[in-house]
């Protein structure tokens, strides 16, 4: 066991060193030579200090992501092989004989332990964004968000994992398909209630205060056959200087949302382009396509996890202490496998997302016919968020759900309605 732990830690250290070399010495984040001097060249809209800060911030941020993700996998693995998960189960069963309460106690021990072990990565990320003036959020406000996030995730994951264990106990061969069937209504429900129940836990929403701008946006919505009565703005200036806008919810709970920082730092025509982009997601039914893709991917995921759990319990169950039928200690294994599957499949899901974003950009430029404002919007987005204009390939593949800013700017600047979609 000691050898397994030592090898795991050694591999993680070697991986961390390779990622450090990749992001800080091995990857060139500069744009291709042929784009130098164009509107996509950051030297044309960032000063020298902003260019340096953007390079530093992006490199550290990406490094933390690729360091933090496998760290979570290792923690889950060690929880199994070192018997931590089994010990939590023993403690829970020593307190009460009621299985539901036992699992609640076990899952609380497990969740709070995971939260505390991963907390340093989150804290460093918070401090990083503060140091580079992306975040202006106080530590107390940030901790409030972390606490809310913990309890929201705990409640949802507790219910999901409890039901999953019951299904695994009742049906050894078909639990994965029953579990997937239950995710269908749950996914639709959560997507429907997110704008009115979950999002307000973190942010303050209100109808757009600039009524003249709202009227222009609603005119665009009417032309696009979008049944919208309000555009919402969210108070993000007390937390960040970055810009964002998004569409969320389904059915009558659909909302188009602008951060107040976006309203402060973009001109009206640039905001209109952003709004047209968000309307495109509604018009193109990207939310519904996203739900469908998510459910399809999750079906494959449940099947893959089912096969791997069966194999691991059969071959390595004793060593990893996950051999017992219905044992709570299998939870880290399930979460580890689902997380690994999600990471492995992310290049595909990110590619689909980037395709939809290109569709939305095309729709927006066709609606506004304002190439200059579209380009200016993305230049400001990169400048204020210290975003890398042309990130390294690993980042594009595993992190980016949107096309690189260099690609978006060049596309929008040259778009004349004749480019093949």
419, exposed or middle or buried, with CB in 10 Å at 0-12, 13-18, 19+? exposed
CA–CA distance from 374 to each of 252, 340, 367 (Å)?
29, 37, 11
SS3 370: coil
Beta bridge partners of 207: 232
Annotated binding site for Zn(2+): 277, 281, 357
Q: Which of 213, 248, 252, 214 has the alpha carbon at shortest distance from 231?
A: 214
Of the residues 89, 361, 370, 388, only one is catalytic, namely 361
Annotated binding site: 277, 281, 357
Would residue 260 show up in a list of annotated catalytic residues for this protein? no
Given the structure tokens 């979460």, which residue do they identify? 335
Other CB atoms within 10 A of residue 369 CB: 12
Q: Which of 278, 192, 265 has the alpha carbon at shortest distance from 232?
A: 278
DSSP tag of 83: T
Would residue 278 show up in a list of annotated catalytic residues for this protein? yes
72, exposed or middle or buried, with CB in 10 Å at 0-12, 13-18, 19+? middle
Of the residues 278, 356, 388, 390, only one is catalytic, namely 278
Catalytic residues: 278, 361
């Amino acid at each position: 066991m000691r050898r397994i732990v030592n090898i795991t830690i050694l591999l993680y250290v070697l991986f961390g060193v390779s990622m450090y070399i990749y992001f800080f010495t091995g990857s060139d984040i500069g744009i291709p030579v042929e784009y130098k001097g164009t509107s996509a060249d950051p030297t044309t809209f960032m000063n020298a200090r902003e260019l340096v800060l953007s390079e530093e911030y992006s490199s550290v941020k990406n490094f933390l992501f690729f360091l933090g993700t496998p760290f979570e996998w290792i923690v889950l693995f060690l929880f199994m092989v070192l018997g931590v998960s089994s010990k939590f189960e023993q403690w829970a069963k020593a307190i009460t004989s009621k299985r539901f309460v036992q699992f609640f106690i076990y899952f609380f021990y497990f969740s709070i332990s995971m939260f505390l072990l991963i907390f340093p990565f989150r804290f460093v990320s918070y401090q990083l964004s503060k140091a580079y003036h992306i975040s202006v959020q106080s530590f107390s406000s940030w901790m409030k968000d972390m606490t809310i996030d913990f309890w929201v995730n705990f409640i949802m994951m507790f219910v999901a994992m409890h039901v999953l264990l019951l299904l695994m106990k009742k049906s050894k061969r078909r639990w994965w398909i029953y579990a997937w069937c239950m995710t269908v209504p749950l996914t639709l429900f959560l997507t429907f209630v997110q704008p009115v129940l979950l999002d307000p836990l973190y942010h303050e929403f209100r109808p757009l205060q600039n009524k003249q701008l709202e009227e222009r946006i609603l005119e665009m919505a009417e032309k696009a056959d979008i049944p919208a009565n309000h555009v919402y703005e969210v108070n993000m200036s007390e937390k960040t200087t970055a810009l964002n806008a998004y569409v969320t919810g389904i059915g009558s709970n659909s909302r188009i949302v602008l951060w107040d920082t976006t309203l402060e730092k973009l001109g009206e025509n640039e905001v209109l382009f952003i709004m047209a982009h968000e309307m495109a997601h509604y018009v193109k039914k990207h939310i519904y396509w996203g739900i469908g893709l998510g459910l399809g991917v999750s079906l494959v995921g449940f099947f893959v996890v089912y096969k791997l759990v069966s194999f691991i319990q059969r071959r390595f169950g004793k060593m990893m202490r996950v051999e017992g039928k219905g044992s709570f200690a299998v939870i880290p294994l399930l979460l580890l496998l689902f997380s690994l599957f999600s990471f492995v499949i992310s290049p595909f899901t990110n590619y689909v997302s980037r395709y939809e974003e290109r569709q939305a950009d095309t729709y927006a430029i066709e609606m506004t016919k304002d190439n200059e404002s579209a380009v200016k919007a993305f230049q400001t987005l990169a400048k204020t968020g210290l975003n890398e204009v042309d990130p390294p390939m690993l980042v594009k593949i595993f992190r980016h759900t949107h096309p690189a800013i260099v690609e978006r700017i060049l596309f929008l600047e040259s778009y004349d309605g004749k480019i093949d979609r």
